[in-house]
Amino acid sequence: MNTRVAITAVAVVLAIVCAAAPAAARKSGSLQALDSDRDGTVDLNEATTAANQAFDRLDRDHDGTLSARELRGRLSARELAAADDDHDGTLTRSEYAAAVESRFKAANRDSDDTLDDHELRSGPGKALQRLIR
């Protein structure tokens, strides 16, 4: 009887481990793309690096600012106005970085200064991704 219980216990443990392994190994494409140090999370530095790359890609006229047209729906008109500190209708790199930081903080619900896959898939996390992808 003890052998049967031991075998059943081992089978249950193996089933749990095997079921959990694919879920743990499966990270969203967003997390993998942004997580440059491969620690399973995105920190503000990684988000800022991605934001700078996105800014350079989006600034098609190379004037150092992003217009509403260049932003293409990444920010609503109201969000653009709120992020536009100098009220010129465009975002400078520093204004864009401040918007990214604000969205990062909104997505960081557990206040650990990193975003995990769950936080990136949340509403605020998706809003952040619209700016940095």
What is the longest distance spanned by two Cα atoms in the chain?
A: 79
Kindly list the structural domains of the chain, giving each domain's residue range(s) and its CATH number in brackets, ordered by start: 28-132 (1.10.238.10)
Residue 18's alpha-carbon distances to 8, 22, 55, 133, in angstroms, are 15, 7, 42, 33
Most confident of 11-20, 26-35, 92-101: 92-101
Rounded Cα distance between 16 and 41, Å, is 24
| Residue pair 44/104 in contact by the 8 Å Cβ criterion | yes
pLDDT score recorded for residue 29: 83
Rounded Cα distance between 107 and 84, Å, is 21
pLDDT score recorded for residue 31: 84
State yes or no: pLDDT of 91 exceeds 70: yes
pLDDT score recorded for residue 6: 46
What would the mean pLDDT of 36-51 be, rounded to a whole number? 96
Name the 3-class secondary structure at 67: coil
Question: Does residue 27 or residue 35 have the better pLDDT?
Answer: 35
Question: Does residue 103 or residue 5 have the better pLDDT?
Answer: 103
State yes or no: pLDDT of 7 exceeds 60: no
